[in-house]
Amino acid sequence: MDFTRDDFFRGAVWALGSFLTLLLIAEIILSVTLDIVRTPPGPHMAIAPHLAYLPLMLGGTVLIGGPIAAICVLLGSPLAYRIARSLRAERRIAVHVLVFLLFGAVFGALCAGLVYAGLFAMQGMPLPWLAITTAAAIGAPFTAVATVIGWSLAAWHTLRRTRRARRRTRRDVDAVAEDAR
């Protein structure tokens, strides 16, 4: 399970993209669900209230959440790199997946909680610990899944490259012996 820095960088970018994609999908599902549950049916509303604000919410997620997530990826990458290097000799893929799932969950909870606490602190408001722990609990599974997706895609690319290199370097032992005569 050896990898290069480029493979690691590719995995980090995939993890970031996966996180944002999962977050956008969750926001769409939540908006649609809230409109179905809370909006009484009838011709009086041309568009449901949550869906009306959906483009603004998705844009805000990309423009504000994207850079914040990118900073979190930059901060977490050195630790993730060390974890990946320490697992190089581990052949069982399940171990890699479990370790990166746990890393993503813990790091995601920490980042989500700190970002949420920072938003309140910047406004000079007291920190609502229940809201901060809720944000951490919501951020953990998204980051855990995104981290595993990033690892999986990077590992797949690395294994594919390694297999191609092995195919190119294989020699036909009989042909080498025959050519030597």
2: left (phi over 0), alpha (psi -120 to 50) or beta: beta
The pTM (predicted TM-score) of the whole model is 0.78
Give the chain's mean pLDDT. 86
64 is written with which tokens?
């504000």
Residue 47 has pLDDT above 60, yes or no: no
CB atoms within 10 A of CB 80: 22
Q: Is the pLDDT of residue 28 over 60?
A: yes
Q: Is the pLDDT of residue 76 over 70?
A: yes
Whether 43 has a pLDDT exceeding 90, the answer reads no
Least confident range of 4-8, 50-54, 140-144, 177-181:
177-181
Give 103-153 pLDDT, tens digit per residue. Answer: 999 999 999 999 989 988 899 888 888 888 998 999 999 999 999 999 999
Count Cα atoms within 13 angstroms, Cβ side, for 57.
16
DSSP code for 103: H
Q: How confident is the model at residue 157 (pLDDT cuts 50, 70, 90)?
A: confident
Cα–Cα distance for residue pair 94/51, rounded to 1 Å: 40
Task: Grade residue 41 by pLDDT with cuts at 50, 70 and 90.
Answer: low
Residue 39 pLDDT level (bands cut at 50, 70, 90): low
Kindly report which listed range (40-49, 74-83, 84-93) carries the lowest average pLDDT score.
40-49
Average pLDDT over residues 166-181: 63
